Amino acid sequence: MRIVSGPEASEIIERVAARGQQVGPSDSQAQRIVREVRQNGDSALRRFAEQWDGLSPQEPIKISKHELAAAQRRLTAPLRASIRESAENIRRFCELQKPRSFTRSRAGITLGQIVKPLESVGCYIPGGRYPLLSTVLMTVIPAQVAGVKQIRVVSPNPSREVLAVAAMLGVREFYRIGGAQAIAALAYGTESIPRVQKIVGPGNAYVTTAKRLVAFDCAIDFLAGPTEAVILSERGKPQFIASDLIAQAEHDVDALAFLITTSRVLAHAVVEILERLVQGNPTAKASLQKGAVFLASSKAQAREWANRVAPEHITVDEEYAPFIQNAGSIFVGDYSAQAAGDYASGPNHVLPTAGQARFRGGLSVLDFVKIISVQKLSRRGLRSIAPAIECLATAEGLLGHADSIRVRRADA
């Protein structure tokens, strides 16, 4: 990882700020897969699952409750306790996030909102090199807190530990499929998998592309890209900073890993430690070769750079925290390791990437509910605002709107 400053640093920051979801070779392939599953249902789904997800010809797509229970029984006591502690923290945080229904009345007008859970959601759990137990917790628990009744989990070739977490949470529908074919099955339904109202969870380029393709027919959370970690610090501990950058970089060879600082001493100390720590971690080493340490000329410039990047994760010195406008999740101070948010502190680890933190936060209970407004007007209440309604409707040329108010005013 190299240190950059001056115009070169500003130029790199601007390029990163302009990043977005890239159109790649996965697009045409994902489009074909989605189309075939939509048209042919289980026959296409099983063919793709056998080809890419490791599903054997005799193996059912849906995992039985007995297999889920067996996986749970085989958990070690320490892992079981850790899952339970993490789940409790996530659930407690989700309860705090949950929006409330309300009603308010004034001058003959009663207004309010009711909060209704979605009826069904699909939770995508990535496969790959690492069994992401934590993603089961982060996607299923907020749906449960929201009150979603039908939660369908999909994952290609799921590990025993992933199945055990699902069982501990009471998941009843778990399907051993992944990729674009899983997204298509959830969005449109097949003989084996009923369609859902929304799909959440991260995945590879094929999953992300498929979510984009079905987004007009099935709601999605957002399009997740490679992991992003930024550290904004003047006085953080170099060892802690280096360890956070490596922790996030090991997710993906395309991960974004930046340190932004005004301290030349800190910059060099972190680079020196990183060079030692990446030995033996090829994924982190590859990712950090694309990362950088940005040496800002002032704290104001450092803050501006951080907000321009709008990263998924950002760790900041406490003095910087009030100035962060764009981030998926903010970690404040030396001991707020980004890995704590990945697993057990409570907030969700499914976070916006590719600059989407400019306009949305991470996955939350709000993603699993709909808020419906309610209004009740008495005769007196309608009369109090009728002149304004009629005036606005007439200005827009919508005379039927105005008449619908006048007819009520005339009703004695």
Average pLDDT over residues 18-44: 86
| pTM recorded for the entire structure | 0.93
Q: For residue 329, give the amino acid letter.
A: S
Give the integer Cα–Cα distance in Å for 115 and 399. 34
Q: Which residues contact 187 (CB under 8 A, 6 or more apart)?
A: 34, 38, 195, 196, 199, 214, 217, 218
Residue pLDDT, tens place only, 135-148: 999 999 999 999 99
Q: What percent of the chain has pLDDT over 70?
A: 99
Contact in structure between 178 and 157 (CB atoms under 8 Å): yes
**Residue 51, number of CB atoms within 10 A of its CB:** 11
* Better-predicted residue by pLDDT, 93 or 226: 93
Average pLDDT over residues 307-323: 97
Q: In what order do the strands lie in the sheet with 109-117?
A: 102-106, 109-117, 369-377
Residue 129 has pLDDT above 80, yes or no: no
Give the integer Cα–Cα distance in Å for 163 and 169. 10
Average pLDDT over residues 313-325: 97
pLDDT computed for residue 251 by the predictor: 84
CATH 3.40.50.1980 fits 2-21+225-346, yes or no: yes
Contact in structure between 250 and 342 (CB atoms under 8 Å): no
CATH 3.90.1150.10 fits 30-99+116-220, yes or no: no
Give the integer Cα–Cα distance in Å for 179 and 30. 9
- Mean pLDDT for all residues in the chain: 94
Residue 20 has pLDDT above 80, yes or no: no
Average pLDDT over residues 193-219: 95
* Better-predicted residue by pLDDT, 288 or 362: 362
Q: Which residues contact 128 (CB under 8 A, 6 or more apart)?
A: 204
Average pLDDT over residues 393-411: 95
**Residues with a known catalytic role:** 312-313
Residue pLDDT, tens place only, 67-102: 999 999 999 999 999 999 999 999 999 999 999 999
| Paired sense of beta strands 198-200 and 256-261, if any | unpaired
Residue 343 has pLDDT above 70, yes or no: yes
Residue 24 — very low, low, confident or very high, per pLDDT cuts 50/70/90?
low
Angle between helices 205-214 and 26-40 (to 10 degrees): 60
Total residue count of the chain as it appears in this document: 412
Residue pLDDT, tens place only, 238-273: 999 999 999 998 888 888 999 999 999 999 999 999
Q: What percent of the chain has pLDDT over 90?
A: 87
Of the given ranges (42-46, 71-75, 250-254, 392-396), which has the lowest mean pLDDT? 250-254
Residue 130 has pLDDT above 80, yes or no: no
pLDDT computed for residue 21 by the predictor: 65
Average pLDDT over residues 24-53: 92
pLDDT computed for residue 336 by the predictor: 97
Q: Which H, E and C letters describe 41-75, residue by residue?
A: CHHHHHHHHHHHCCCCCCCCCECCHHHHHHHHHCC
Q: Which is nearest to 38 in space by CA: 153, 154, 193, 205? A: 193
Domain residue ranges in the chain: 2-21+225-346, 30-99+116-220, 378-409
Average pLDDT over residues 29-53: 95
φ/ψ of residue 259, rounded to 5: -115, 130
Residue 374 has pLDDT above 60, yes or no: yes
Residue 228 has pLDDT above 70, yes or no: yes
Of the given ranges (38-42, 191-195, 287-291, 356-360), which has the lowest mean pLDDT? 287-291
Contact in structure between 43 and 184 (CB atoms under 8 Å): no
SS3 188: helix
Residue 213 has pLDDT above 90, yes or no: yes
Q: Which residue has the tokens 């998926």?
A: 328
Give the integer Cα–Cα distance in Å for 136 and 168. 10
